[in-house]
Structure 1
Amino acid sequence: MGSTAKAIVTGFICRLCSEQKKVVIHLYTERARRLDLLKKIKLVPVTLKKYDNLPKTICEQCVKRLEDQYNLLQKIKKSHVIHTRHRMHHSNGRCPVECPLHGLGDPTWPEVTLDEATDSAN
């Protein structure tokens, strides 16, 4: 019998942090699709090709970090759209009721999606 100190730990390499982990999410599975991992990973300077010889797995810590980064970016882009709309409503110096910042969180104001925020920022 060998020593446990010399045992090789098996697992998977995370594509983002390059650490070996026992629990990972494969990028081309149903779970990854539900989490929109391929879309969210485009936020980082990593080029993914389905058939390259690089790891196709991401550890749970990196998934969490990616999710946090995605949510922050979504909030920033949404805020940018709201501020842009706010300036449009202030041509006469007053803040009308339909202004997105009039009474912050007005439920009648349409939700801004990340795609809409990206389109309006360009």
Structure 2
Amino acid sequence: MGSTAKAVVTGFICRLCSEQKKSVIHLYTEKAKKLELLKKIKLLPISVDKFDNLPKTICNQCLHRLEAQYDLLEKIRRSNTIHHSHRIYHSNGRCPAECLLAWFR
């Protein structure tokens, strides 16, 4: 694979885990756009800039972890919306039987 310096230039270093990998996805490709990688990475406590001198690739293992994290965050957001709506619509404390959150009683 060569040196680490060469790997950064040729795209073998993962931006997220900093490990050298044979298979990576470049953050500014059509595939990355379809996967919304930059949107998902923005949820992490890092900043990615197209013109910085850091790697612009992520490995498949980090991709799967990023996807899982994003899916969890989306599930939490949807759940929070449901709970918020539940609180507004059933503020009297009585849930109708058809309420999805009736089990909270």
TM over 0.5: yes
Identity of aligned residues (%): 66
Indicate the residue corresponding to 1:114 in structure 2. none
**Which structure 2 residues correspond to residues 89-104 of structure 1 after superposition, within 5 A?**
89-96=89-96, 99-102=99-102
Structure 1 or 2: more helix by fraction: 2
1:85 aligns with 2:73: no
- Alpha carbons 1:85, 1:100 under 8 Å: kept: no
Q: Is the 8 A contact 1:89 1:96 kept in 2?
A: no
Match of 2:31 in 1: 31
- Matching residue's letter, 1:87: R
- The within-5 A match list for 1:1-122 is 8=2, 12-96=12-96, 99-102=99-102
Displacement of 1:102 in angstroms is 4.8
Task: Assess if the C-alpha contact under 8 Å between 1:41 and 1:66 holds in 2.
Answer: yes
Which structure has the larger Rg? 1
For the residues of structure 1 that align with 2:55 and 2:2, how far apart are their CA atoms?
Answer: 19
| 2: CA distance, partners of 1:71 / 1:22 | 26
Give the Cα separation in 2 of the matches to 1:37 and 1:92.
43
- 3-state DSSP of counterpart to 1:58: strand
Q: Distance in 2 between matches of 1:56 and 1:93?
A: 51
Code of the aligned partner of 2:60: E
Contact 1:21/1:59 (<8 A) preserved: yes
Gaps of 5+ in 2: none
Equivalent residue letter for 1:61: Q
Amino acid at match of 2:30: E
CA RMSD of aligned residues (A): 2.1
Give the whole-Å Cα distance in 2 for the aligned partners of 1:97 and 1:36. 39
Distance in 2, matches of 1:62 and 1:87, equals: 37
SS of the residue aligned with 1:20? Answer: coil
Give the number of the structure with larger relative contact order, counting CA–CA contacts within 8 Å between residues 6 or more apart: 2
